[in-house]
Chain A
Amino acid sequence: MYSLLQRAISFWALLGGVLVIAIVLVTAVNVGALILDSILKNFGIYVSALPGYEDFVRLAISAAALSFFPYCQMKRGHVAVELFVQAFPQWLQQALDKLWLLLTMALAVFLAYWMWIGMLETRSDNTMTAVLGWAEWPWYLPGVVSMALWALISLVQAFGAKSHG
């Protein structure tokens, strides 16, 4: 069960990574077109760049960024400050750790819930991006999934799965 969740979270983060790569490729095409255009326009030939580049980057990065949250949690990457706690007895350290994990889970559930509401509202508002005219609401969905995965992995970590590293 746990390894299934781990694989799902890694896969989800890699999907986010694919969006990052997509941004890279779109950027390369766009910059290439701009360079070509700056040369060819002297001969009266206009090369079109990708209209709505910023729109696309904005949408893609929203999904990618959120897809990283559960993976970061799985790797215990959400930083905390090591100050006094190392000097505390072991049981207290573990209790605190468990408490923070449960709070993280509660937060992720809370965010997933409101994001879902936000998605429905964005759909009924019919909000779209300025240049591309793409609907915004579908881009909330990966965020909801990310928050749900984040809640799950925090819960599993709170109840003792060995997950450091």
Chain B
Amino acid sequence: QEVTLTFHHFLGPKAPAQTKMIEPWAKSVEEASGGRIKVEIFPAMSLGGKPPELYRQARDGVVDIVWTVLGYTPGVFPRTEVFELPTVHRGSAKETTVAIANSWDLIKDDFKDVKPILVHTHGGQVFHMVDKPVRTPDDLVGMKLRTPSRIGGWTIEALGAEPVGMPVPALPQALSKGIVAGALIPFEIVAPLKIQELTKHSTEGPNSYRFGTATFMIGMNNDSYESLPDDLKKVIDDHSMGNIAETYGAVWDASEEGGKKLIRENSELITLSDDEYAVFEDKMAPVVERWVADANGNGLDGSGMVDAARAAVAKASGN
């Protein structure tokens, strides 16, 4: 073994992100390198710092590789945000992750300072409601909902509800005491937070369409990558972006199933019809417009990016 790569992230060592994505990736890299690369994983911010600092740590080389949520540092990845938009992301982490890899030129300027290994999403946001079944946007009017991100907040506002920001661990308490009427989160974190015991109704679209998503990155320090000999660089490249997007995108879709099952068994899973979902889409159109205006303000071609991102997701879904 000649190179040790440190891998830092914010979730615990038993979280599916580590066991289903980071550990298999690390093992595969180690094997492909013939044992010359060792990946040492440090979970739960154990090397220090708060989750929003992970990106900086990779950029500066405090650690070699990080896995982070791009939404922790709103404003730093203005292009990639396009894939978080409702009606851009549909209902599949795999499809959107593949679409990101395939339309890399669209967003690559967000990643000048790190070597991107994988930019992926989770399955997408679902409305989990304490006691109000949601079938139309009118059902949400005036409700306080926990927002996962900047775009999530805009979505909640567009639907006539009120976004409340709070750390995920505070959510169960807030739901059980009615501080929020519901939350926009995926199914994947239902089990760890016991959401199924706190909410009575969850709403997703047809074909498991969602209300936007969140983007994540596995990123590597540029120097750490550049200092590798060419054959080891190739090992990393073979384990990057297009080569792994489908595999690990699918991991995130799969991790939705457990939470979905819990919801079905313990509360109600409302699946909107095509017509019902179309009403939501109309209501959420201003979110996309708002994002386009914001992007244009940053000197980007907002509507061009939305179109390109939609086309890429459609292509990845085979439609």
Contacts and interface: CB of A to CB of B under 8 A. Distances in A.
A and B touch in the complex (CB under 8 A): yes
Interface of A: 34, 37-38, 41, 46, 48-49, 51-55, 121, 125-131, 133
Contact of B153 (A37, A121, A126, A131): A131
Given A34-B179, A127-B74, A128-B74, A48 B165 contact: no
A48 B179 contact: no
9 contacts: A38-B178, A51-B153, A51-B162, A53-B165, A55-B165, A126-B76, A127-B74, A130-B74, A133-B74
Residue among A54, A125, A130 with max Cβ neighbours from chain B (10 Å):
A130
Residue among B52, B56, B144, B165 with max Cβ neighbours from chain A (10 Å):
B165
A80 to B, nearest CB: 24
A51 B166 CA distance: 11
A93 B144 CA distance: 59
Nearest to A44: B142
Given A51-B164, A55-B165, A130-B71, 12 more contacts: A38-B178, A49-B144, A49-B162, A53-B164, A126-B78, A127-B73, A127-B75, A128-B74, A130-B147, A130-B153, A131-B150, A131-B163
Nearest to A132: B165
A55 B72 CA distance: 12
Interface residues of B, number: 23
Interface of B: 52, 56, 71, 73-76, 78, 141-142, 144, 147, 149-150, 153, 162-167, 178-179
Given A130-B147, A130-B150, A130-B153, A52 B165 contact: yes
Nearest to B153: A131
A127 B76 contact: yes
Contacts of B73: 125, 127
Nearest to B142: A46
A152 B120 CA distance: 48
A48 B162 CA distance: 8
Given A34-B179, A131-B147, A125 B76 contact: yes
A128 B72 CA distance: 9
A41 B140 CA distance: 13
Contacts of B166: 54
B217 to A, nearest CB: 15
Nearest to B78: A126
Nearest to B113: A125
Contacts of A38: 178
A49 B162 CA distance: 8
A46 B162 CA distance: 10
Nearest to B160: A46
Nearest to B170: A54
Nearest to B294: A133
Contacts of A130: 71, 74, 147, 149-150, 153, 165
A52 B163 CA distance: 8
A74 B34 CA distance: 58
Contact of B75 (A49, A51, A55, A126): A126
A32 to B, nearest CB: 14
B263 to A, nearest CB: 25
Nearest to A56: B165
Contacts of B165: 51-55, 130-131
A54 B167 contact: yes
Contacts of B150: 130-131, 133
A84 B56 CA distance: 42
A128 B178 CA distance: 28
A30 B231 CA distance: 58
Nearest to A46: B142
A55 B147 CA distance: 12
A54 B164 CA distance: 8
Contacts of A55: 165
Given A55-B165, A125-B73, A46 B141 contact: yes
A42 B147 CA distance: 24
A49 B71 CA distance: 23
